[in-house]
């Protein structure tokens, strides 16, 4: 059964049901204590199912069963890896299959129910958006939506009207998950049988420095390091901007071949924590940033690679001109 969350109407309003699907997925993982799953949420019309069948060929996303409000799956190809992929999907604004989990025998045993009082039946769309904003968005790494009609676009706009909910665990606000990528700033140069690669590590999240401060608390004296022990420098010693929080760390490393895979992590003398998305080959990094696809880039220009990068500070180029009013006795009255 893939149904995870459901909204069931009752006498006093609505009830939110958790079928225990997430707990089942975590129990089936090979080593959940040391696995760090990513969460992808697909929402929208029926076209999302075509995308899911193409992306996750080993999952039977169309199998019969109680639909509920949100379905939850795990990719079998990644379930035993360090970074398994968990993905949810739902049909925004569609009541088809709603409440079906309440008559499922398995859900009666494992489910939990929370009553939502003072909610009228016609307020389903508002409740659906509230569930997505409060329970799904805070955990979502990638959100993919499928809309065609104007009504679907309007429904999606209303979903993003309110600010994103913050995660609070044990009375403390949990910072957003850190996403760091490495981009090559120059073409790899060959020297004495090795390729020297120069690039930059970026954090794609806003308030990157607040996130890095939390990381430094968990990993004191943390440094960027490859899995082979090559030091890339301290987290705090960066080439970004303190004013706007833009984070950029210039690094340099060597590989024997462009097909050699590298793993980037944060480490100190006792801990090594791999950053998601790795291992990855140097050639794979070049392909991902379209370093060779000159026409594929937005600027369509070969000479402009690598692209120039600036921080988020406003670049003021206009000069401020101050005008002074003449004295009253010098003004001429227009006829």
| Mean residue pLDDT across the chain | 77
Beta bridge partners of 14: 9, 116
Q: Are strands 280-281 and 261-262 parallel, antiparallel or unpaired?
A: antiparallel
pTM here is 0.56
Last residue of a domain, one of 148, 174, 200: 174
- Residue 303 predicted with pLDDT over 50: no
CATH of the domain at 85: 3.40.50
- Give the number of C-alpha atoms closer than 13 A to the C-alpha of residue 105, restricted to the C-beta side: 0
Which residues are registered as beta bridge partners of 184? 199
pLDDT value for 278: 76
What is the pLDDT, as a whole number, of residue 86?
A: 94
> What percentage of the chain has pLDDT greater than the value 90?
7
Q: What pLDDT score was predicted for residue 72?
A: 93
Do 60 and 152 sit in the same domain of this protein? yes
Q: Is residue 296 in some structural domain?
A: no
pLDDT tens for 62-91 read 777 667 889 999 999 888 888 899 999 998
Cα separation, 21 vs 5, in Å, equals: 8
254 and 151 housed in the same domain? no
**C-alpha span between 48 and 148 (Å, rounded):** 12
Per the structure, how many domains does the chain have?
Answer: 2
DSSP E strands: which ranges in the chain? Answer: 3-10, 13-18, 38-44, 70-74, 85-90, 112-117, 142-146, 167-169, 172-174, 180-184, 189-191, 194-203, 223-226, 231-234, 248-255, 261-262, 264-267, 272-274, 280-281
The residue range of the domain holding 63 is 3-174
Per the domain annotation, does 7 fall within a domain? Answer: yes
| 8: in domain | yes
């Amino acid at each position: 059964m893939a149904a995870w969350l459901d909204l069931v109407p009752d006498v006093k309003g609505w009830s939110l049901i958790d079928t225990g699907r997430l707990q089942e997925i975590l129990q089936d993982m090979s080593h959940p204590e040391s696995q760090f799953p990513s969460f992808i949420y697909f929402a929208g019309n029926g076209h999302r199912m075509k995308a899911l069948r193409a992306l996750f060929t080993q999952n039977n996303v169309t199998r019969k069963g109680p639909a509920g409000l949100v379905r939850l799956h795990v990719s079998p190809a990644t379930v035993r890896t360090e970074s398994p992929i968990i993905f949810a999907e739902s049909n925004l604004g569609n009541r088809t299959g709603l409440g079906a989990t309440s008559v499922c025998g398995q859900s009666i045993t494992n489910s939990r129910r929370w009553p939502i009082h003072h909610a009228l039946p016609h307020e389903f769309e508002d409740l659906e958006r509230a569930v997505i904003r409060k329970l799904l968005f805070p955990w979502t790494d990638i959100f993919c939506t499928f809309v065609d009609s104007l009504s679907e676009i309007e429904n999606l706009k209303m979903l993003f009207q309110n600010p994103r909910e913050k995660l609070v665990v044990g009375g403390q606000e949990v910072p957003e998950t850190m996403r760091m990528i490495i981009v090559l700033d120059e073409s790899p140069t060959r020297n004495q049988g090795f390729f020297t690669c120069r690039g930059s590590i970026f954090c794609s999240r806003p308030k990157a420095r607040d996130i890095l401060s939390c990381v430094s608390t968990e990993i004191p004296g943390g440094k960027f390091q490859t899995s082979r022990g090559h030091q890339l420098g301290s987290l705090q010693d960066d080439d970004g901007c303190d004013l706007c929080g833009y984070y950029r760390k210039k690094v340099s490393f060597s590989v024997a071949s462009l097909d050699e895979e590298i793993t980037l992590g944060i480490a100190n003398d006792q801990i090594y924590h791999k950053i998601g998305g790795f291992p990855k080959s140097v050639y794979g990094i070049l392909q991902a940033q379209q370093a060779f696809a000159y026409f594929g880039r937005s600027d369509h220009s070969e000479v402009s690679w690598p692209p120039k990068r600036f921080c988020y500070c406003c670049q003021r180029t206009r000069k401020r001109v101050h005008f002074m009013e003449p004295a009253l006795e010098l003004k001429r009255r227009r006829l």
